[in-house]
Structure 1
Amino acid sequence: MNYRTILVHLDHSDRSPLRGAVAARWSRAHAAHLVGLVPTALHDGVIPADAIATGMSDYIAESADYLRRRAEAIAREFRASIAASGPLSYEVRLVDGATVDAVARHGRTSDLVVLGQDDASSRNDTVVRALAEQVLLEAGQPVLVVPSAGDAFEGMPKNVVVAWDGSREAAMALRAALPALRQGVRVTLVSLRHPRDEEQAQRLLVPEMIQYLLRHGVNARAESGVTESSFGDALLSRVSDLGADLLVMGGYGHSRLRERIAGGVSRQIFSQMTVPVLMAH
């Protein structure tokens, strides 16, 4: 697998320019075509309270005009950033559909969807919540989620942690990440288990996975750990300890309802990530 088309969601949030820069960097590194998708939010139904002057005779028309102008400004900023950073095959798409639907639909025509962690700077005037989570479940393509804090994402990932639990989702995420793993300098396959799960090691087929990666040009090492705490806490701790700059993992191994009730690892990573996360479902 190679990344031939990468899509990035652009909006008016503070982190959107950084997200666009990360997507452009990945596109250049993988010789991919970049699509900047700008949903106008017209069908999301909420705009800033002070965006439209009082006394307007046609509030709906004025609101639509405001949202369109805001989207065009985002697109201009994105084009300017691409022009300033060097040659790249890219396009910008302005779409009027509901944000989740638009990103999921257009995401299906790409190899990788770049999204942002839920960003407090956009919460006052949008109904979109947990966009990355919803797109992951609906687009059918892997997503790269950029954290809402920090800016140490200058280069391509060189120190990658792969969360490996032997699941279908973990296998899909690992395969989706192969182009990035090939460019990594250090790739660590991390497997975690609870103290009472003695049989997990045999189920994971770690030596076989290491050989699989080697045949794909990825020289990885494996480590296993036992934790009494949640897998999410332990995984984030290993990411920090290893100084990783990318986490690869499967998302939502159970139904979304069960994950919400049980407090799934995926949901914890979405809320507490400190490095970009490449996730597949």
Structure 2
Amino acid sequence: MSWARIMAPLSGGQGDAEALAAAVMLAEPFGAEVAGVYTPADVADVMPWTGEGLLGGVQTAALDALREAAAIGERNARFAFERVAYPKQRFAALQTPVWAGLSAESRLSDVVVFTSDAARGRGALAGSFQQIVADEQRPVLIARPGLKVGGVVAVAWEGGKEASRAARLALPLLEKASQVVILSAPKASARSFDPSRLQAYYAARGLEAAVEVLPDHGDAAPALLAASQKLGADILVAGAFGHPRLQEFIFGGATRTLLGADAPSLFLSH
């Protein structure tokens, strides 16, 4: 299996260079295209309040300021993109409605790359991250320091739909890995599952994977992070938002714990 297009949403900020470097690292082993997609704040988002009790001049000034910020951001994003030394690349700047353009670009990409800030709900791309993962259900790579393709990859497995989807979609990445380890925490889940089933699925595709059953633990996420660190994993593959997103937001959930960690890099799919 292979990937042909890796997408990196860009904000025109300092995180763009990091996201693009990670996208290139992910794309290079596959000879895939890197798509840098400038994703500005949308003028349409301010339209509902510009018509309610504001003077025409104030409305115009607010919209002009937003357009100017978008133009500056696009220049910064283009500058960061032009500094990428990679032969297969494409730049796109989204126009209003930005959400629709972002959806269209992500649907025609194999993986979408974000930095930790966006994944933690910080910065201009926080909303884009949620849209891509939860609404579009596209696989994402959250790039963190030390990201490496071709090293150790851990796969979090609890038999659910989200974990199964992530485990399948990550196959091209796993095929490049020096070692694949399936991490299972049966005591932390109400679901009954057998990690050897995933091991057999991978074996049928010529991929050798080890299985590590984690000790009894009330919360799977800390155990997964600790096991990944012990293994020296460069990337952890996991399902995202296994419970309704509102419930995840209120109660935290394993996904929020993984997003809040500093390492390893994450490959997530909802």
What is the CA deviation profile of residues 209-248 of structure 1, one whole-angstrom value per residue up to 9, with x for unaligned ones? 2122122232110011233342111111111111100000
Contact 1:116 1:132 in 2 (8 A): no
Deviation at 1:280, TM superposition (A): 0.8
In structure 2, do the counterparts of structure 1 residues 165 and 95 end up closer, same or farther at CA, with 3 Å as the change threshold?
Answer: same
Q: Where do 1:131-170 residues align within 5 Å?
A: 131-147=128-144, 151-153=145-147, 155-170=148-163
Report Cα offsets for 1:64-94 as digits up to 9, x if no partner.
13321321221122122x2xx34x2111000
Residue segments in structure 1 that go unaligned for 5+ positions in a row: 46-55
Give 1:194 deviation, angstroms.
Answer: 2.3
- The within-5 A match list for 1:89-100 is 89-97=88-96
* Most deviating of 96-105 and 21-30: 96-105
Aligned counterparts of 1:227 and 1:23: Cα–Cα separation in 2: 36
Task: Specify every segment of 5 or more residues in structure 2 that has no aligned partner in the other structure, as ranges.
Answer: 47-57
Alpha-carbon distance in structure 1 between the residues aligned to 2:93 and 2:189: 52
Q: Is the 8 A contact 2:153 2:237 kept in 1?
A: yes
Seq. identity, %: 24
CA distance in 2, matches of 1:241, 1:103: 37
Amino acid at match of 2:75: E
TM-score between both structures, scaled by the size of structure 1? 0.81
Q: 2:196 aligns with which of 180, 197, 207?
A: 207
* SS of residue in 2 equivalent to 1:277: strand
TM-score norm. by structure 2 comes to: 0.84
Matches within 5 A, 1:1-281: 1-43=1-43, 59=61, 60-80=63-83, 82=84, 85-86=85-86, 88-97=87-96, 102-118=101-117, 126=124, 129=126, 131-147=128-144, 151-153=145-147, 155-194=148-187, 200=192, 203-204=193-194, 206-281=195-270
More helix by share: 2
Asked if the contact 1:26/1:156 (under 8 Å) is kept, the reply is yes
CA contact 2:185–2:216 (8 Å) conserved in 1: yes
Question: Aligned equivalents of 1:254 and 1:280: distance in 2?
Answer: 13
SS at match of 1:140: coil
Shift of 1:123: 5.3
Whether the 8 Å CA contact 2:18–2:115 is kept in 1: the answer is no
Give the secondary structure class of the aligned counterpart of 1:118. Answer: helix
Question: Retained in 1: the 8 A contact 2:13–2:76?
Answer: no
Q: Structure 2 CA distance, aligned partners of 1:24 and 1:239?
A: 24
Deviations 1:94-145 (A, max 9, x none): 013466554333211111111122259x957x4x536433320112321111
Q: CA RMSD in A?
A: 2.7
Q: For this pair of structures, how many residues does the alignment match?
A: 257
C-alpha separation in 1, matches of 2:188 and 2:33: 46
Residue 49 of structure 1 corresponds to none
